[in-house]
Chain A
């Protein structure tokens, strides 16, 4: 019974790999269309992402917030809740973390822990609010999470532009710099990669174990798979929804926290929204079919496309947007797969009636 079903694994890998292949193909056509050399461009993209130790480390740095949001989103998706609010949860998490690290007294590690706790709590509560609106008022989660993003992003933007703006600073809308005792340690000297990456990997493993081996994880999976079956078996939807939304938001909050503690050392307006970390995280989740370990790989792939795209822009005439073309076609083909399996499922349901 312990035998691993390799064919099943191969099958679950086949679709994302195919999507990646098609994405690269579409990208190749786009490169060709703007008059670039496909070979050189992809070579530069690879070099930009993994060409040296420094670039590899940058790619993983960029992947860190994407992994954490992807994990949070995966958890909510597995429970059947479309949490599209990762961006807002991340922003409030980052802002809360920055404030905690700035204003909590004590030595560096205390500030750091306070920042992590505050970041996760802020992200979690913002997400919980959407969950509560659903259980209490039946407000559609997809819509509330999406719209709460705007409230969070603009509120944070206002706060750092006015009341919380760095005193006497010449910079734009940003908080003061954190004391460097509260900074996350770098994993390697002279690279950008910080300890948050290790935490993100550990979180992925923990989440995978949680979903497979715990009763709560089981209930979450069943709730997402067939809510009526879960209700029939005595799973409490409302309670589980609040728990999974809280955890989901806390992971997004942690992603924002690590950007503050590990890369920028302060909260800067747009530091999370302009790289689009949250949306990349959602893409990674979709690409990996909400599998935690798969989400890590997908997040690194997306980060590599983005850092690789910068390399392309540095060294060729092809613009950075080529990465977006590849990413978008990836998502297009992944969603085509979802639609296709939905059609298959519908057909199978219709056929069940007369098959004996």
Chain B
């Protein structure tokens, strides 16, 4: 049983989209006016409504974060196209409010919740995490969010909950990339329950202190800093507690190339490329390639989750 928190009357809130839809339109018009090849050298500033949050230095890396335009202009979000600049060009069609999240499975509290209600009273924090893509490039990102565990605990998972399954919105009108069967839509990701409850695992709603841009997975995305980026599912509409391992999108698409765990591991190469090193986006020419760290540098915090496991087999 659960009780719905009363919704805020629409008149009481001014959704950021109201402000930013105009801006997005303008940006779209500008983008359409210039050739897709000729990208303006001047980068757009961080957009989105400002969030209030505290900085969590303890969970942040010391490295300098990437620029906003690198994080918001270089994305894999196939729901909006498969080029790195497709999401930033196409994601303005996504409507991020109203947004609801359906909770199902092995938990006492289930049902559909409005995102505003889920976020009410949640203390946001900024954490600067390393981000390592399975394609061997990396970023450092100042996310704004909250531990996934604080959200999951509210649903009171039962002892049957061994895994958490996440699903992205499926709506080809808002996500035109879903008209192309590049992956089996909707995108699904999952974590083992202990991974999901780990304090590093973050539910993200913002970037650089502001509401998350659509192309980075607004309004709600997952960030698991010790795993390859594709585990960080975007624009989440469903969270399920399951007893069986979720069938995750990339694992279904190419099981020999993308495992369920997808922990960053320089020792285990992708069948088609090496994972030993990575190129850091935004670094100057000839100074971008650096060694990839086990668990993306978070081994001290998370290696114990996998004690005794053959990480070559469970890649």
Report whether chain A binds chain B: no
Residues of chain B whose beta carbon lies under 8 Å from any beta carbon of chain A? none
Residues of chain A whose beta carbon lies under 8 Å from any beta carbon of chain B? none
